[in-house]
Amino acid sequence: MAGHSPVGEIAVLCSDRGLREVTVRPQRATARVRSRLVPAAAKARSVQPPANGGAALARQALSEIGEYLAGRRRQFTVPLDLEGTPFQVKVWKALLEIPYGETRSYGAIARRIGRPQAARAVGSANRSNPIPLIVPCHRVIAGDGSLGGYAGGLGMKTRLLRLEQGNGNRPGNSRQ
């Protein structure tokens, strides 16, 4: 299921257990987003047809993302179906613990999951995050305070961080 947002077309894919994938692309890439839906659905093990509730989860996800981008939502309630390596899932769960408007370094996430030497691997797991925005990989920055990377581009990362920091949060709420 896809919808429009202030940041472009957003497509979501749900399994029987929850949200599996969020794809965010600028408006000019709408055709590419739609073309990804079929391959993503084919690789998912158990995508529900709309009659079984998958469409309701997709609508919920799109609604919550829209509210987030409008500055009206700080936490997501849509169930997630995280699928990745055990390390990736551990990283993504740690990202879910970063409060709205705050940031953490790659090293801090590595320490949080008990792998203090794995900051680069945390970055790799972030790049593989199938549920950006909701699993907030945009809140992870480099140890020196620079933005680091972001699969959606640094412009998008900056925009998301400013949205959160300008919505009742002080800039600098960062823990290294």
Q: How far is CA 118 from the centre of its chain?
A: 20
- Out of 11, 137, 156, 163, pick the active-site residue: 137
pLDDT of residue 15: 85
In the predicted structure, residue 88 carries a pLDDT above the cut 50:
yes
**Residue 75 forms part of a structural domain:** no
**Residue 35 forms part of a structural domain:** yes
**Residue 81 forms part of a structural domain:** no
Q: Which amino acid is at 144?
A: D
Residue range(s) defining the domain that contains residue 136: 86-175
Cα gap 104→69, rounded to integer Å: 21
HEC profile of the chain: CEEEECCEEEEEEEECCCEEEEEEECHHHHHHHHHHHHHHHHHCCCECCHHHCHHHHHHHHHHHHHHHHCCCCCCCCCCECCCCCHHHHHHHHHHCCCCCCCEEEHHHHHHHCCCCCCHHHHHHHHHCCCCCCCCCHHHEECCCCCCCCCCCCHHHHHHHHHHHHCCCCCCCCEEC
Interstrand relation of 174-175 and 103-105 (parallel, antiparallel or unpaired): parallel
Residue of 43 and 127 predicted with greater confidence:
127
Are 90 and 171 in the same domain? Answer: yes
Q: What is the pTM of this model?
A: 0.80
Active site residue 137: yes
In the predicted structure, residue 71 carries a pLDDT above the cut 50:
yes
Write out pLDDT tens, residues 49-63: 444 567 889 999 999
Domain count, the chain: 2
Are 149 and 101 in the same domain? Answer: yes
Are 16 and 53 in the same domain? Answer: yes
Where among 36, 69, 102 does a domain terminate?
A: 69
CB-CB contact of 40 with 75 (8 Å):
no
Are 100 and 169 in the same domain? Answer: yes
CB-CB contact of 161 with 148 (8 Å):
no
Cα gap 102→80, rounded to integer Å: 22
Cα gap 87→89, rounded to integer Å: 6
**Residue 47 forms part of a structural domain:** yes
- For 131, phi then psi, to 5°, come to -130, 60
**Residue 76 forms part of a structural domain:** no
Are 40 and 101 in the same domain? Answer: no
Write out pLDDT tens, residues 108-154: 999 999 999 999 999 999 999 999 999 999 999 999 999 988 888 89
Are 169 and 90 in the same domain? Answer: yes
Where among 17, 34, 69 does a domain terminate?
A: 69
